[in-house]
């Protein structure tokens, strides 16, 4: 394979006037050739231009030698050894608490997680009333706080995750379905109106486009679930009852699960089952691995009652299905 030419970064030395008058130098000998005979010109030391250059080179060499000696000289009579370095590293590991894997994963995904609020007429379903009571109690309000002005009532709070840095957000369809207005809040606190640009009802997914986005918006990294196994560590990041972003950690407890909505209107399949705590408000948030990569979108929790509280089983739509909602499967 042909290699590109390499050039020295050293600046070219100007040709001295007396050098220009000297005979041209002989071409450099190739390896294995006999040394070329020296020209019959006067010794370089007697030519003024070359003499100045030689003096300069001697000064540079002397300075370099002095610097190397000073660099190698131990400071204060002490010289670090590999044993000293190993002892310092060991002491740091013993005295400093390293962040957990879940902490590092949450730090990675957090800039891509958004709070999603839908506004409109108040729902009167048992699930909606339970979620509203939970939100009010989380904010220190009475469970049955009075409703706001018409058209500005919070119908639901969920979570979303940015998958394209132009403000494309994935969330659950049930979070925004029927909303008159949708507002998203980014990691830096910026609030923006968002519109629904696509839906995938069979997977309870919706695609949002924010009207305003932060200058440094970071899109999440998506990870194929092909190698996912029960027992793998995962974390759910979201806004349970509007509090957050909150993080809960657990493991994958099953794959290819099915779930039927409490109303019996819809059945979801090919779901990831996990045991990281999730509650109303986590819907639409990312389920991530310990590298902070998105494995799926949190969609539902299993509960035989109408309380809608977590009992240890949650479900997420695999990211392969979720990404196809925007028409661009990543794998």
Q: Is 204 a catalytic residue?
A: yes
Kindly give, in sequence order, each residue whose CB lies less than 8 Å from that of residue 106, ignoring residues fewer than 6 positions away: 235, 237, 245, 247, 288, 292
**How confident is the model over 55-70, as pLDDT tens digits?**
566 555 555 554 544 4
- Which listed residue (112, 192, 204, 248) is catalytic? 204
Measured over the CA atoms of residue 301, residue 205, residue 327 and residue 238, the dihedral's sign is negative
Number of neighbours of residue 279 by Cβ within 10 angstroms: 22
Lowest mean pLDDT, pick from 57-71, 227-241, 301-315: 57-71
* Topology at the third CATH level for domain 105-210: Thrombin, subunit H (2.40.10)
Asked if the model's pLDDT at residue 71 lies above 50, the reply is no
In terms of average pLDDT, the best of 14-23, 39-48, 60-69 is 60-69
Closest CA to 295 of 321, 269, 313, 314: 321
What are the b/e assignments for 202-235, b being 16+ CB within 10 Å? ebbbbbbbbeebbeebebbbbbebeebeeebbbb
Give the rounded distance of the alpha carbon of 160 from its chain centre.
15
What's residue 3's pLDDT? Answer: 39
100: enclosing H helix or E strand: none
What is the rounded (10 degree) CA torsion for 181, 303, 162, 123? 0
Asked if the model's pLDDT at residue 228 lies above 50, the reply is yes
What average pLDDT does the segment 97-108 reach? 91
- Which listed residue (112, 118, 174, 275) is catalytic? 174
What does each C-alpha distance from 172 to 1, 208, 284 come to in angstroms? 52, 10, 5
What's residue 283's pLDDT? Answer: 94
Same fold, 105-210 and 233-324: yes
Lowest mean pLDDT, pick from 32-46, 215-229, 269-283, 314-328: 32-46
Q: Is 216 a catalytic residue?
A: no
What's residue 136's pLDDT? Answer: 58
Q: What burial class does residue 189 get, using C-beta atoms within 10 Å of its C-beta: 0-12 exposed, 13-18 middle, 19+ buried?
A: exposed
Tell me the domain boundaries of the chain. 105-210, 233-324
Averaged confidence pLDDT in the chain: 77
What average pLDDT does the segment 109-118 reach? 96
- Strand locations in the chain, DSSP E? 113-119, 154-164, 168-172, 181-185, 191-200, 205-210, 233-238, 246-260, 267-274, 286-288, 294-301, 314-318
With beta carbons less than 8 A apart as the criterion, state whether 325 and 198 touch: yes
* Topology at the third CATH level for domain 233-324: Thrombin, subunit H (2.40.10)
C-alpha to C-alpha distance for 222 and 134, rounded to whole angstroms: 31
Give the rounded distance of the alpha carbon of 192 from its chain centre.
22
- Which listed residue (118, 248, 253, 283) is catalytic? 283
Q: Is 192 a catalytic residue?
A: no
What are 199's two structure tokens? 């839906």
């Amino acid at each position: 394979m042909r290699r590109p030419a390499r050039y020295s970064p050293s600046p070219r030395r100007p040709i001295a006037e007396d050098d220009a008058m000297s005979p041209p130098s002989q071409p450099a000998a190739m390896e294995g050739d006999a040394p070329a005979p020296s020209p019959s010109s006067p010794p370089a030391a007697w030519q003024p231009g070359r003499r100045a250059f030689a003096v300069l080179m001697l000064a540079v060499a002397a300075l370099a030698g002095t610097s190397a000696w000073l660099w190698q000289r131990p400071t204060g009579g002490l010289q670090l050894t590999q044993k000293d370095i190993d002892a310092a590293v060991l002491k740091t590991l013993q005295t400093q608490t390293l962040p957990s894997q879940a902490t590092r994963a949450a730090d990675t995904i957090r800039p891509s997680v958004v709070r999603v609020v839908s506004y409109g007429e108040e729902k009167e379903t048992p699930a909606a009333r339970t979620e509203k009571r939970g939100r009010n109690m989380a904010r220190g309000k009475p469970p049955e706080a009075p409703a706001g002005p018409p058209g500005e009532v919070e119908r639901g709070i969920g979570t979303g995750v940015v998958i394209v840095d132009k403000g494309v957000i994935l969330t659950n369809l049930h979070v925004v379905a029927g909303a008159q207005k949708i507002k998203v809040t980014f990691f830096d606190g910026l609030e923006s109106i968002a519109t629904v640009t696509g839906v995938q009802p069979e997977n309870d997914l919706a695609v949002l486009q924010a009207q305003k986005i932060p200058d440094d918006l970071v899109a999440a990294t998506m990870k194929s679930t092909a190698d996912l196994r029960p027992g793998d560590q995962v974390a759910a990041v979201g806004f349970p009852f509007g509090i957050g972003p909150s993080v809960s950690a657990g493991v994958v407890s099953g794959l290819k699960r099915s779930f039927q909505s409490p109303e019996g209107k819809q059945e979801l399949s090919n779901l990831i089952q996990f045991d990281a705590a999730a509650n109303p408000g986590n819907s639409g948030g990312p389920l991530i691995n310990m590298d902070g990569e998105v494995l799926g979108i949190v969609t539902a929790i299993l509960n035989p009652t109408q309380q809608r509280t977590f009992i240890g089983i949650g479900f997420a739509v695999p990211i392969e299905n979720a990404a196809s909602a925007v028409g661009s499967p990543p794998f």
